[in-house]
Structure 1
Amino acid sequence: MNQPVQNMDSDDGIIHISQSRLIALQQDARLFRNKKARVRSHFNGGFLSAFKGRGMEYDESRPYQPGDDVRNMDWRVTARTNKPYSKVFREERERPVLLWVDFRSPMFFGTQQCFKSVLAAKVAALLAWKSSQQGDRLGALLFSEFQHLELRPKGGKSSALQLVKNLSEFSVQSTEQPHLADENKRDSRHALNRLLHVTRPGSLIYLISDFRNMSSQFESTLSRLSRHNELELIQLSDPLETQLPVDGYYRVTDGSTETEVNAFNKNSRLSYQQRFTQHQENLQTLCKKTGVRYLSLSTDQALLDGLMQGNTVKR
C-alpha cells in the first residue's frame, strides 16, 4: 500500500520552528526540575513562602493580636468599629510565571544546531509546559523590532498551547519582516517598560535573550523587578560568537549588510573573544548585584542538559 508523501521542512527547528516541535517538548518538561528559592514571608504567620512576595492576597480582617505587623492594620475596619483590626493574607495557589522572549534581529543567527531565536522558542516552550504541569498561571511578552505581543497570566493547558503557537509564529514572521528604517524600529526599552507594567508582585520571570544592545534602563528595570519577584536571566549564544575559528576570512551577514572578519590575525581573534567574555561577565555581575539568577545556553547544547546543568549564579 502506498504511503502518502509528507512535505518535510528542512529548516524546521533550525532557522524557525513549528508548533508541533514545540508541543513535543511537553515530554522533556516532565523531566526538567526548575530551581526554587525559599524566603521568609513578611506577612502574618511567619511561614516560608516558596517565592519572594509570592501571590499574597487579602483573605479577611480579624481583631488585632499582639505581635501583628502594624503594616497590615485594616484602618478602615478599625475606624468603623473603634477597635484595632489586622488584615489576614493567604498565599495564592497559582504563581504567575512570565516569559520575556527576545526575537530581535541579532537572535536570528546560528552556526551550529539552530538559530538563537529557535533556541529561545524552545527554552520558552519547555518552561511554559513545566509551568502548566505545576499548575502555575502562565503569561508572556514576545517582542522584536517589528512586533510586540503580551499574554496575561492564565491557568490551564490552553495558555501553554497559545504561547507555543505564538512562539512558532514569531520564529517565522521575524525572518519575513521588511527592513525598516531605524526610526521605525522599537528597541528593548518598550519591551522592558511593558514588562514593568504587566508584572504582578510575586511573579517568577524568565528573561530569554542574547542581551545584545540592551537599553540603558536594563539594569534599573532588573533592580525594580527583583524587589518583589523571582527573576532568572537566560543568556543565549552561538559558539561563533564566543570564539572565531582559526585562520581564514569569514563573511558575516545579518540579511541586509555584510562584513568580512579576518581570523588569520591572532590579535583580532583575541579581541573578538574578549568582547564576548566581557559582555558575559557584565551580565553575571549585574545579576549578582540585583539578586537575579543567571543561566547561559549555547546553540550547540542539548536543551534539557543545558537548562539543568547550566552555569548559574545563585542569589
Structure 2
Amino acid sequence: MPTPHTAEPGIRIGLSDLIDMRHRVREVQLFSRPGQRSPLVGLHPSKLRGRGVDFDQVRVYQAGDDVRNIDWRVTARTQEPHTKLFHEERERPIYILIEQSQRLFFGSGLLFKSVLAAQAAALFGWAALDHNDRIGGLVFGDGEPHEIKPRRSKQSLLQLLNRLARVNQLLHTDATPQPDSLGLALRRAREVLRPGSLAIVVCDERALSEQAEQHLSMLSRHCDLLLMPVSDPLDHALPAAGLLRFAQRGAQLELDTLDASLRQAYHQQAQARIERWEVLTQKLRVVLMPLTTRSDLIEQLREHLSAQRPGHNR
C-alpha cells in the first residue's frame, strides 16, 4: 500500500485544508436564511417533513397548554404540573457522496479533479452544519467505501472530512479502478437515506453508468438530489500536440493528436457525456452543477446559483 503524502497544493489536500473551507462558506449563499432566499431553496423543504417537532424543554403548566403534553414524571417529582415544550424541526439529513478514485487523480487546470471534489464536499458540509442540518456521507472510489452516518454535530462532519483527506492522500495512478463504484455508493445511499433527505453527489463526469442512473432515479422519488460531475479541460478536448504516449499498469497507448478526426471523435464523446447528465437531471427534475478544474470553486458556484435565479437568461 502506498504511504500517505503531505498536502501538495492543487494535487493533494489535507484535513487542515478541508477544515479551512469553513471560512469560504460566507462567500456564497448555498442555503436559505431567515429573510433571505437562496436559489437552492428548492433543496430545503418549504414545509416541515416527518414528525415536525423536536423536544425543547419542560416548564410549569400554564392555562391553555395541551394536557397531552404534560410531563407526568416531572409533575410527580415536583408535585406541580409541568408540560413539555417543542420546537419546529427544520433540519434534515444531508448526505454527501464524494468520489476519490484514480480517474480523478488528474488535472490540467488550477488543481486536480480529486482536490476540487474534496473542496466541494467540504464547502457543502460546512454550509449544511451552519444551517443546522444533520451531515454525513460516503467517500468512495478504488477501495472500500467509508461511511459516516448523518448527525447534527461538528464531530460528524470532521469524521467525514478526515476520511476524505486520508483517501485523497493515498490516491495514485496505478490503483485498480473498482467497476461502477458510483452505482455501489448510490445503492448504499438508497439503503440509509430516509424520505426528505438531500443527497449531494460529487463524482467524475465519466462515472455515470446505467446502474447509477437507475439508482439516481429511485433516489429522486423521495430525496432531493444535487449532482456535481467533475471534469478537466482535457476530458473535453485534445490539444494538437503531436504523438502522445500513455502507459498505465503495463498497458500502452499512442495517440496522434494532429489527427483532426481523432480530436473530433474525442470531443463528441465528451459532449455525449455532458448531454447524458443534462438529460438525466431534466428527466428527474433535480439540480445539476458541473464543476471544472479550469476555475475556482466559489466562482463556479456563484455562476450556477445566478443561472438558477428566476428571470435569468441562459
Q: CA deviation at 1:57?
A: 1.6
The Cα shift of 1:262 comes to 1.6
Q: Does 1:118 align with 2:122?
A: no
1:207 maps to which of 201, 205, 210: 201
- 2:297 counterpart of 1:303: yes
Q: Aligned in 2, Cα 1:37/1:11: closer, same or farther, shift over 3 Å?
A: closer
Q: Deviations over 1:87-117 (max 9, x none)?
A: xxx9633121110111222111212222211
Return the offset for 1:241. 0.8
- In the alignment, the residues of structure 2 paired with residue 128 and residue 268 of structure 1 have an alpha-carbon distance, to the nearest angstrom, of 41
- Structure 2 gaps of 5+ residues are 31-38, 55-86
- TM-score scaled by length of structure 2: 0.76
* Contact 2:53/2:88 (8 A) holds in 1: no
Match in the other structure for 2:138: 141
The letter for the 1-side match of 2:224 is E
Q: Which SS does the other structure have where 1:212 is aligned? A: helix
Q: What is the match of residue 40 of structure 2?
A: 36
Give the Cα separation in 2 of the matches to 1:143 and 1:53: 32
CA distance in 1, matches of 2:250, 2:49: 46
Aligned residue in 1 for 2:152: 155
CA RMSD of aligned residues (A): 2.9
Deviation, structure 1 residue 214: 3.5
Tell me if the contact between 1:287 and 1:313 (Cα under 8 Å) persists in the aligned partners.
no
Q: What's the secondary structure of 1:166's corresponding residue?
A: helix
Which string of whole-angstrom CA distances, capped at 9 and with x for unpartnered residues, describes residues 132-156 of structure 1? 1111110101111212111111112
Contact kept? 1:98, 1:204, Cα under 8 Å:
yes
What is the letter of the counterpart of residue 29 of structure 2?
R
* Cα-to-partner distance string for 1:22-64 (whole Å, 9 max, x where unaligned): 111111112221243449xxxxxxxxxx42786412769xxxx
Percent identical among aligned pairs is 31
Correspondent of 1:168 among 165, 170, 173:
165
Give 2:40's aligned amino acid.
K
Distance 1:256 1:165 in 2: 33
**Which of these residues, 2, 13, 30, is aligned with residue 17 of structure 1?**
13
8 A contact 1:231–1:293 mirrored in 2 = yes
Partner of 1:233: 227
When the two structures are superposed, what TM-score results if normalisation uses the length of structure 1? 0.75
User: Retained in 2: the 8 A contact 1:146–1:174?
Assistant: no
Deviation of residue 253 (structure 1)? 4.6
CA contact (8 A) 2:13 2:115 kept: yes
Look up the match of 1:220.
Answer: 214
Look up the equivalent residue of 1:36 and give its one-letter code. Answer: L
Match for 1:154: what amino acid?
R
CA distance in 1 between counterparts of 2:155 and 2:188 reads 23
Distance in 2 between the 1:148 and 1:119 partners? 19
SS of the equivalent of 1:109 reads coil
Displacement of 1:255 after TM fit? Answer: 6.0
Per the alignment, in what secondary structure is the counterpart of residue 108 of structure 2? coil
Q: How many residues align?
A: 266
- The DSSP-based 3-state class of the residue aligned with 2:291 is strand
Match of 2:98 among 97, 101, 118: 101
Conservation of the 8 A alpha-carbon contact between 1:237 and 1:297 = yes
The structure-2 alpha-carbon separation of the partners of 1:298 and 1:255, relative to structure 1 and needing over 3 Å to count, comes to farther
C-alpha displacement of 1:249: 2.0
CA shift in 2, pair 1:121/1:96, >3 Å: same
- CA distance, structure 2, for counterparts of residue 232 and residue 250 of structure 1: 36
User: Which runs of 4 or more aligned residues in structure 1 lie more than 6 Å from their structure 2 counterparts after TM superposition?
Assistant: 311-315
The equivalent of 1:80 in structure 2 is none
Q: What residue identity is the alignment partner of 1:26?
A: R
Against the structure 1 CA distance between its residues 238 and 309, is the aligned structure 2 distance closer, same or farther, given a 3 Å change threshold?
same
Aligned CA distance change for structure 1 residues 265 and 185 (closer, same or farther; 3 Å): closer
Partner of 2:80: none
Which residue of structure 2 lines up, in the alignment, with residue 47 of structure 1? none
Distance 1:55 1:228 in 2: 12
Note if contact 2:21-2:126 (Cα within 8 Å) is conserved in structure 1. Answer: yes
Tell me the residue number matched to 2:77: none
Distance 1:168 1:10 in 2: 10
